[in-house]
Amino acid sequence: MKNTMKPDLQAPSTLPLRRRVCSAAALLALAAGLAACGDAKSPAGAANGAGAGAPPPPEVAVVTVQPGTVQLSTELPGRLEASRVAQVRARATGILLKRTFTEGSDVKAGQTLYQIDAAPYDAALQSAQAQLAQAQAQLAQASATATRYKPLVAVRAVSQQDYDAAVAAEKAAQAQVAAGQAAVRTASINRGYATVTAPLTGRIGRTLVTEGALVSAQDGTQLTTIQQINPLYLNITQPAAQVLQLREALQAGQLERAGKAEAARVQVLLENGQAYGEAGRLLFTDLSVDPATGQVSLRAEVPNPRGLLLPGMYVRARLQQAEVDNAILLPQQAVTRGSSGDTVMVVTEDGKVAPRPVKIRGAKGDQWIVTDGLKAGEQVMVEGAMKLMMGAKVVKPVPWQAKQAAAPASQAPHAPASGASAAAPQASAAAASR
C-alpha cells in the first residue's frame, strides 16, 4: 500500500514542471519559425532596394525672406526734467499769515498760495489815494481860474501875466494828479503782492517757510517751487560719430528720414524695460559737440498727462532715425558672423543647404537687418545646424517659430514605435525566463 501511494504524492509537483518545459519549448519553436521567415524574406527585401526602408530627411526650421521697409532706431540714456520751473519768491515784505495749498498737489496759474500781512500796504494805498484827491482838487481850482481869465484878458480886464500864471498853475495841477494816480497804482500793486499766487500751472513742491515767518521783498525770500510736468523734457546725448554716419548715409541715399524728419519720434523705455504709453517728439539737436565727452545733446518732449513720469528720472530713449528700403529682418541665430564676413544657410527647393554671404546694416531688437545677399521667397535656416553636422545632405524645411518646443512634433510618432520594438524582445525574454 505504501508503494502505490508514492506516485500519487509526487504527481502535483511534477505537473507544473512539465507545463513550464512545454511552454518554453513552444516559445523557442515560435522564435525559430520567425527567424526562418525573416531569412527567407531578406533576399526579396534586398532586391527591392534599401531606399524603401531609409528614414525621412530631418526637419530644419527656416524663415521665408520677405523684404520690406525697416526703421532704424537707436537707444540712448536720458534724464527727464520739467518743461517749466518757477521759483515762487516773496515780492512784499511782511509776516506770512497763511498757506493755502497742499504740498505736492497740482495748482493752476493764478491760484492763491500764501497770504502776507497787508496792513502796511493798505495804509500806503489809502495815503496815495488821499494825495491823489488833493491833487485833483488843486487841478479843479487851477482849471477854473484859467477858464475865468481867458475872456477877461481879451478885453484887458486881466493882465496877460496873470492869465499865463493861471494856465501854468493848471498844468502843474494836472501833473500832480498824474503823479498821484501813479502813486495809487504803485501802492495797489504792492498791496497785491501781499497775496502770493501761482505763476504757472503745475505741481507744487514743499513749502520753504511757515506761518509767522518774516519774508523780505529785498532779499527775494523763496517760498516754494512749481514744476510743469506735462509735458516733460527728455535730455539725451548721442555720440557724434553716430550722428555723422547717419547723416552721410542719408545724403548718399542709402536711408530715408523717418517721418520726413530726423528722429522725429521718440519712444521712452522705463527702468523696468517696459515702453511708456505716450510717444514723444524730438525738439532740436544741439549744433555743437561737447569737447569733453564727444556727445551731441538732444532734447525731446514727452507727454505726461497722468503724471507717471517725474523730473529727474533716468530712462532710455528709442529714436526712430531713418528707414531702410528692401531690407530683411532675420533672427540673430540665423546669421554666422566672422572676420571674413557674414553668412547664412539657404535651403533650396530640392532640400539642399548652401551657405550664402550677406550684408548686415545693423540690428533691430534681436534681429539683424540684412540689405544684400538674399532674394524674396528664399528660405533661410534658423535651427538645425547639428543635423547637418551629423551628415544630413537633404533636409525638410518647416516654418520657424520664436518659441519652439524642445522636441519637434515630427519626432513624436517615431519615439513610441522605437520604444515598442525595444520592448518586444524584452517581453519575450521575460516570458522565456519565466
Are residues 213 and 236 located together in one domain of the fold? no
**Chain centre distance of CA 378:** 34
Whose CA is closest to 400, among 337, 329, 352?
A: 329
Q: Provide CB contacts within 8 A for 343, sequence distance 6+.
A: 335, 336, 355, 356, 357, 358
Q: In whole angstroms, what is the distance from residue 94 CA to residue 113 CA? A: 15
Which grid cell sits at 258? 523717418
Look at the pTM and tell me if it is higher than 0.75. no
CATH number, domain containing residue 137: 1.10.287
Residue 13 has pLDDT above 70, yes or no: no
The pLDDT tens digits of the residues spanning 45-71 come to: 444 444 455 678 888 889 999 898 887
Are residues 103 and 215 located together in one domain of the fold? yes
Domain that holds residue 396: 59-69+327-402
Percentage of the chain beyond pLDDT 90 is 42
CATH number, domain containing residue 214: 2.40.50.100
Comparing 301 with 426, the larger pLDDT belongs to 301
Q: Provide CB contacts within 8 A for 233, sequence distance 6+.
A: 80, 81, 82, 83, 283, 299, 300, 301, 302
Give a yes or no: residue 2 inside a domain: no
Residue 231 has pLDDT above 90, yes or no: yes
The pLDDT tens digits of the residues spanning 14-32 come to: 444 444 444 444 544 444 4
The pLDDT tens digits of the residues spanning 194-222 come to: 999 999 999 999 999 999 999 999 999 99
Specify the pLDDT at position 366: 84
Give a yes or no: residue 30 inside a domain: no
What is the residue type of 381? M
The residue out of 300, 324, 348 marking a domain boundary is 324
Give a yes or no: residue 21 inside a domain: no
Give a yes or no: residue 377 inside a domain: yes
Q: Name the range with the highest mean pLDDT among 53-62, 66-75, 85-94, 294-303.
A: 85-94
Give a yes or no: residue 215 inside a domain: yes
CATH number, domain containing residue 235: 2.40.30.170
Give a yes or no: residue 51 inside a domain: no
Q: In whole angstroms, what is the distance from residue 225 CA to residue 423 CA? A: 82
Whose CA is closest to 145, among 131, 164, 132?
A: 164
Give a yes or no: residue 136 inside a domain: yes
Are residues 64 and 78 located together in one domain of the fold? no
Are residues 158 and 244 located together in one domain of the fold? no
Are residues 249 and 290 located together in one domain of the fold? yes
Q: In whole angstroms, what is the distance from residue 417 CA to residue 422 CA? A: 9
Q: For residue 331, is the peptide bond before it cis, meaning its omega torsion is within 30 degrees of 0?
A: no
H-type alpha helices, 49-118: none
Give a yes or no: residue 425 inside a domain: no
β-pairing, 295-302 with 256-257? Answer: unpaired
CATH number, domain containing residue 378: 2.40.420.20
Specify the pLDDT at position 41: 42
Number of domains in the chain: 4
Specify the pLDDT at position 221: 95
Are residues 104 and 151 located together in one domain of the fold? no
Are residues 268 and 334 located together in one domain of the fold? no
The dihedral over CA atoms of 35, 38, 40, 43, expressed in degrees to the nearest 10, equals -140
Are residues 251 and 261 located together in one domain of the fold? yes
Are residues 213 and 95 located together in one domain of the fold? yes
* Number of neighbours of residue 243 by Cβ within 10 angstroms: 19
What is the residue type of 411? Q
